[in-house]
Structure 1
Amino acid sequence: MTVLLCEPDTAAAGRLYQELSSSLLVQRVVAVASLADATREAAASDFDVVVLDPVGADLPRAGRFALARLGAGTAVVLHVDLAQVEAQSTTFYHGERSRLRDAFTLDKRTPVTMLAAEIDVVLTKCQAFRLLATGRSRAERLLDEVRERASSTGDAELERLVDDVDQVRILENVRPDPTLVRPNPSRNTVFLSYRFKEEDGYVRGLTGLLEDDGFEVVTGRAADGYVGMAVLNRIRECEFFVSLMTRSRQFAEPGEKFATSAWLIEEKGAALAFSKYMVLLVEEGVDDIGGLHGDWQRHQFTATTFTTAARAAVQQLRNRTGQTG
């Protein structure tokens, strides 16, 4: 794919250019700093993808530019702070800019360690969008030829066929989102969700138990607490989900009650949304973990009982796969 990158922030532009150029999906990247330059480049060449910071540029003009590219069948990626956009959504998506919800997004808060993975996810979406747009374009041309033939020959049957096709095309208003495609998960794969402070203790032991029983362990290690599309895809592509919920901070109210890390709750929510078979290992005292779907999924532990709880969790997975012993 060919990519037009419009990002006025020099540092951000440099990082994006490097990662885009390194992607196997990208043949060429043209980087510009202004919307005027982007407009000239888009007029001179056809690009498969436009990556644009509409906030750093002039939002009304950038919005019109992005919508024009979308209308031409170009995949548009908005490089924005998603939290900021959400907080100002009434302004950002005002009027005709409401159609910018059809564009893809790349969060400016993405950690550097996750940027390459996030870009790969976005580019994969763009590739699917382009294939869909190309197919529609060819179908439009073919339909125009059939319509012209029906008109010139007076073929009533052919005219009725064209009318039927026009009625069906209302379905094109629903654009399939590649992110909703649920791949068949790889067998015996486990996404392990945990606080990275536990890596040298509980996690090492649990990972060893899982691998000894033939499970492949996948984590979001490079995400640094950021639950982006790359991490969500890892969860979706795994057969099982195991969350190690350890104490993060103590609640202010009296009692030995603790919260775990917020991103563990987010990852658990994603696993539920993807209908993953879930096993929770919860440290004693951890409360408010986002609700449970059956207490049988929960194994509580302390520092002295962790190995026993971990073995029970692994056995639960073995039972699910039909393994015995």
Structure 2
Amino acid sequence: MAAFPRLTVLLCDSDDAAAGRLYQELTSSTLVERVVAVGSLADAVREAGTGSFDVIVVDPLSTDLVQAGRFALSRSGEGAAVVLYVDLARVEEQAAAFYHGDRSRLRDAFTLDKRTPSDMLADEADAVLTNCQAFRLLATSKSNADRLIGEVRDRATSSGDDELGRLVDDVDQARILEHVRPDPGLVRPKVASNSVFLSYRFKEEDGYVRGLSGLLEDNGFTVITGRAADGYVGMAVLNRIRECEFFVSLMTRSRQFAEPGEKFATSAWLIEEKGAALAFSKYMVLLVEEGVDDIGGLHGDWQRHQFTAPTFTTAARAAVQQLRNRSGRSD
């Protein structure tokens, strides 16, 4: 497969603070060759008319929704990858207007949430840009395939080769191009051998997590976390989970349920990360503090190690040994 090209990006956003924050990350990214930032839709249309951009980043809510929607869709129709840099909560509040009519096609655009924590913005932007690279590469492949079929058909017509003409006409072009159509879902990250995504509440970092991470590393595992996310489960964190071979969740007490009894909930984002690991078919091991309830289903008892403070080390060793067994490196 061809190497992914570096991208030229046009950023249109009248929100100076948000645009400046993203501009800094885009210009620092190794995936980007050039960034042009403008504050108005008129400037964006002018820049797009004078140069070719691989990626159009726009916030329709900060400019003019109707005109920005038309601009984004027109550039998408010409093969550019469109990224909506928006406050996703505001988009949901205005969904009926935002996705009205032809703008319903904006659902297919990539999105980057303006509420992304600052520490995660670079990772989130790179995750989106990686998909944009794949989109552009596949769009170029589709264009080349269209051109090639067109040239063969023209040659058959000009030469009067009826047999070649019938052959071309019999080709189901849609099926051929099914393999090269722009589809962000085709981005398949390589899974790193013996890597573990460790999901945990960040309040546990100086306690349980330090010991568990050390134990995993001592047993030959590479530990990956969503540390900078601080509860934000965005595309970058999802990609980290997808790129790891194993998933371990340390589910400690977050809040007590109102009902009588010693039952506690863990943090909501741990449940979300566990759901992502299930969706990615990751081998999963759960370390669950005694009293934590309602952690979701779709896992077996053999995947769950319950612990208290005095028994944590024993439970952690059992969990790590389970991973060693699964990796084929058991003693």
Counterpart of 2:230 in structure 1 is 224
The letter for the 1-side match of 2:148 is L
Q: Deviations over 1:24-64 (max 9, x none)?
A: 12111110011111001101111111100011111111111
Counterpart of 1:168 in structure 2 is 173
The TM-score normalised by the length of structure 1 is 0.95
Counterpart of 2:101 in structure 1 is 95
Counterpart of 2:138 in structure 1 is 132
Alpha carbons of structure 1 residues 182 and 137: separation in structure 2 relative to 1, 3 Å? closer
Counterpart of 2:68 in structure 1 is 62
Number of equivalences: 324
Counterpart of 1:263 in structure 2 is 269
Equivalences for residues 227-266 of structure 1 within 5 A: 227-266=233-272
Q: Where does the alignment leave 5 or more consecutive residues of structure 2 unmatched?
A: 1-6
Q: Which of 104, 124, 136 is equivalent to 1:118?
A: 124
Q: Contact 2:145/2:177 (CA < 8 Å) preserved in 1?
A: no
Q: Which of 308, 313, 316 is equivalent to 2:319?
A: 313
Cα distance in 2 between the residues matched to 1:46 and 1:37: 14
Q: Deviations over 1:87-130 (max 9, x none)?
A: 44333222111211221111111111011111111111111111
Q: Secondary structure at the match of 2:32?
A: coil
How far did 1:296 drift?
0.9
Cα distance in 2 between the residues matched to 1:161 and 1:130: 30
Q: 2:195 aligned with 1:189, yes or no?
A: yes
How far did 1:194 drift?
0.2
Counterpart of 2:115 in structure 1 is 109
The letter for the 2-side match of 1:222 is A
Tell which deviates more after alignment, 295-304 or 168-177: 168-177
Equivalences for residues 71-86 of structure 1 within 5 A: 71-86=77-92
Counterpart of 2:217 in structure 1 is 211
How far did 1:81 drift?
2.0
Counterpart of 2:4 in structure 1 is none
Cα distance in 1 between the residues matched to 2:190 and 2:39: 41
How far did 1:153 drift?
2.1
Cα distance in 2 between the residues matched to 1:294 and 1:182: 28
Cα distance in 2 between the residues matched to 1:177 and 1:237: 19
Q: Contact 1:82/1:108 (CA < 8 Å) preserved in 2?
A: yes
Q: Which of 285, 301, 305 is equivalent to 1:279?
A: 285
How far did 1:84 drift?
3.1
How far did 1:77 drift?
0.6
Alpha carbons of structure 1 residues 97 and 170: separation in structure 2 relative to 1, 3 Å? farther
Counterpart of 1:145 in structure 2 is 151
Q: Contact 2:53/2:80 (CA < 8 Å) preserved in 1?
A: yes
Cα distance in 2 between the residues matched to 1:92 and 1:47: 24
Q: 2:47 aligned with 1:41, yes or no?
A: yes
Q: Deviations over 1:228-282 (max 9, x none)?
A: 1111111111110000000001111111111100100000000000000000000
The letter for the 2-side match of 1:319 is N
Q: Contact 2:131/2:187 (CA < 8 Å) preserved in 1?
A: no
Q: What is the aligned-residue identity percentage? A: 78
How far did 1:138 drift?
2.1
Q: Contact 2:250/2:287 (CA < 8 Å) preserved in 1?
A: yes
Tell which deviates more after alignment, 77-86 or 273-282: 77-86
